[in-house]
Amino acid sequence: MNLKLHTDYGLRVLIFLARTGRRVKLEEVAQFFDISREHLVKVGQALSRHGWIRATRGRQGGLELAQDPEAIDVADVVAALEERKGVLECVLEPSICRLEPGCRLRKRLMQAEEAFYESLRNLSLADLVRRPAPHHGLSSIN
Amino acid sequence: MNLKLHTDYGLRVLIFLARTGRRVKLEEVAQFFDISREHLVKVGQALSRHGWIRATRGRQGGLELAQDPEAIDVADVVAALEERKGVLECVLEPSICRLEPGCRLRKRLMQAEEAFYESLRNLSLADLVRRPAPHHGLSSIN
């Protein structure tokens, strides 16, 4: 079971933007992750279309978060970038089944996919870039 | 989010064998699904290695179930054929992360994958080939 590279890159871009907290050039992101500019453009367009980032053109242009990291739900991002096409071909296209048209697998795979996304629910982009609490509980003293 | 074609074929082979209830030639399965013999051999080897089917050579040879369909858990089949390598590269190989070494995404993705498999738990191969009950409750009359 794999998520797409597209989703992987999308999450990385969001984490990068949340971490830097400023507008960044596409090239900067591409260099940092050593991934192609072309692929990154597509990922940026998808993130922009969903309203998570803002892309501006020109010399001062670049990518920046369009929402507070607290407001960006990772489950939504993954679901949107994956496009939820069904984990097997027959889930989206039951008519292709040559074997068991009423097979329960299809429904159970849909439920399993839902369980996957439900498990990611309420994890925000802010959670991903939050520094872990230091050991020995010093944070509660300071 | 997609399962591998390998897993798709593995499930199809098991359903085919459970439905026919006899030993079948590899060629018969390949023809029925219109998939390559080579790919099917690999799938058969994997299913055989896990003890779900028995493959015998020779003129009378072929593939047959090695266990009762009630005893074959679909979650086990999917997990075994998928090989559970992590839904993103960083899940299996946290050291590749250039960004957030302590990122919570990794743990949550592992939990989400687990939730996917948990949701499929207790679905047997027998469930997949069981005919749906007829409408209007006639089955309880007969």
Count of CB contacts below 8 A, A vs B?
Answer: 116
Residue-wise pLDDT for A39-71, tens only, equals 999 999 999 999 999 999 888 889 999 999 999
Domain-embedded: residue A89: yes
Is residue B81 within 8 Å of residue B8, measured between CB atoms?
Answer: no
Q: Which residues of B touch A99 (CB under 8 A)?
A: 12, 15-16, 19
For residue A104, the model assigns a pLDDT of: 81
Domain of A81 in residue numbering reads as 5-131
Tell me what the mean pLDDT of segment B96-100 comes to: 72
The amino acid sitting at A125 is L
Domain-embedded: residue A102: yes
DSSP 3-state assignment of A50?
Answer: coil
Alpha carbon dihedral B99, B101, B104, B105, in 10-degree steps, equals 50
Phi, psi angles (nearest 5°) of residue A139 = -60, -30
Q: Nearest CA of chain B to the CA of A9: how many Å?
A: 10
DSSP annotation of A21:
-
Is residue B128 within 8 Å of residue A105, measured between CB atoms?
Answer: yes
Confidence band, pLDDT 50/70/90 cuts, at residue B88:
confident
Domain-embedded: residue B140: no
| Binary contact (B120, A109; C-beta < 8 A) | yes
Structural domain count of chain A = 1
| Binary contact (B99, A19; C-beta < 8 A) | yes
Domain-embedded: residue B23: yes
Structure tokens that stand for B73 in this block: 């858990």
pTM above threshold 0.80: yes
CA atoms within 13 A on the CB side of B112: 28
| CATH number of the domain enclosing A31 | 1.10.10.10
Alpha helices, DSSP H, located in B56-137: 74-82, 89-92, 105-120, 125-129
Structure tokens that stand for A4 in this block: 């797409």
Domain-embedded: residue A67: yes
Is residue A62 within 8 Å of residue A56, measured between CB atoms?
Answer: yes
Domain-embedded: residue A141: no
Domain-embedded: residue A37: yes
B87 touches chain A (CB under 8 A): yes
A29 touches chain B (CB under 8 A): no
Instruction: Return mean pLDDT, chain A.
Output: 87
Tell me what the mean pLDDT of segment A36-41 comes to: 92
Domain-embedded: residue B104: yes
Residue-wise pLDDT for B17-72, tens only, equals 999 999 999 999 999 988 899 999 999 999 999 999 999 988 888 999 999 999 99
The ipTM is 0.82
